Structure 1
Amino acid sequence: MNEAQRIQALFTDLYHGHPWIDVTLEDTLSRITAEQANQRPLKNGNTIWEIVNHIIAWRENVLKRVQGEVLETPSNNYIEKVEDVSEEAWQQTLETLETTQKQWLYFLSTFPEADFEKEYPVNKHSYYKHIHGIIQHDAYHLGQIVLLTKMVK
């Protein structure tokens, strides 16, 4: 197994496999309704839905970075109020998250090992560090989502 395959396994485990932390994005989010996802149990905190949209946007951002695009991160850090709070819109959000999962797995299946050493010019971090960073980012926010699910009704 090469490094890209090992990283694919980490992405898969965290999304819907058997990660060491014993919770996954797919399983956790599949039990949340649109109404729950849009609740704000912490006055100055984010909703689950805002966090999921943030995860999606950062997955897309980092994927573009490691494909050679230079991006400007928006000042809102991809945290925006959700306008359409219907169940259909929530399901579409979950489908978009799944699409980013498929995009990452495909990208890693075609990624040349030598490119792990390439640097993103804005912050000088290697592509390897960016790729592991997005997995860490997903796990960090999954923890927030798990806590928020205990607070929503």
Structure 2
Amino acid sequence: MKQTQLLANRLKEVLTEGKWVIGTNFKAQIENLNWKESTQKMHGLNTIADLTFHTSYYIAGVASVLEGGNLEIRDKYSFDYPPITSEQDWKNLVNKFCGDAERLIQLVENLPEEKLQQTFVDEKYGTYHRNIDVIIEHSYYHFGQVVLLRKMIKGTIED
């Protein structure tokens, strides 16, 4: 199997389709929450909405580069998004996350194999392969936080 397909499969596993290890994925954890659950603060931690936007922000930034665009994402903006004040706001964010994830997966699947070892924008960022790996690791990190927050929230919100 090609490296690009292996990387795309790992992205699918964490972002949209995975059931391996803990039997879920990022999309499954966010799509059935309501907006109040997604914005509920727990112990001063980021909210699920915060983490969803943040993860989607980086996914979209890398996807843009894979489409031939510039690297325009900056850490200082990675939590800057309009407040979630309604169910529609939350659904829009979930849809953006899912769309960004699907777009990145497709781009990685179609990436020429030789591109993986080329420099990603600037030498200081390493290779395309490294940046795709970083997105996978970053997504798993925040996915784990979402799973824990969701468990805490579901234990404190009455139906």
Q: TM-score, normalising length from structure 1?
A: 0.88
Separation of aligned partners in 2, 1:123 and 1:3: 22
What letter is aligned with 1:97?
Answer: F
Separation of aligned partners in 2, 1:42 and 1:80: 21
Give the equivalent residue in structure 1 for 2:62. Answer: 62
1:142 partnered with 2:151:
no
CA contact (8 A) 2:65 2:71 kept: yes
Instruction: Point out the more displaced range, 29-38 or 9-18.
Output: 9-18
| Cα displacement string for residues 41-77 of structure 1 (whole angstroms, at most 9, x for unaligned residues) | 122x211101100011000112223445443543524
What letter is aligned with 1:88?
Answer: Q
Output the aligned Cα RMSD. Answer: 1.9
What letter is aligned with 2:126?
Answer: H
CA contact (8 A) 1:70 1:122 kept: no
CA contact (8 A) 2:4 2:111 kept: yes
Q: TM-score, normalising length from structure 2?
A: 0.85
Separation of aligned partners in 2, 1:38 and 1:124: 33
Q: Structure 1 pair 66/151, CA: closer, same or farther in 2 (3 Å)?
A: same
Post-superposition, which runs of at least 4 consecutive aligned residues in structure 1 deviate over 4 A?
A: none
Could you list the runs of 5+ residues in structure 2 that have no partner in the other structure?
A: none
Deviation at 1:117, TM superposition (A): 0.7
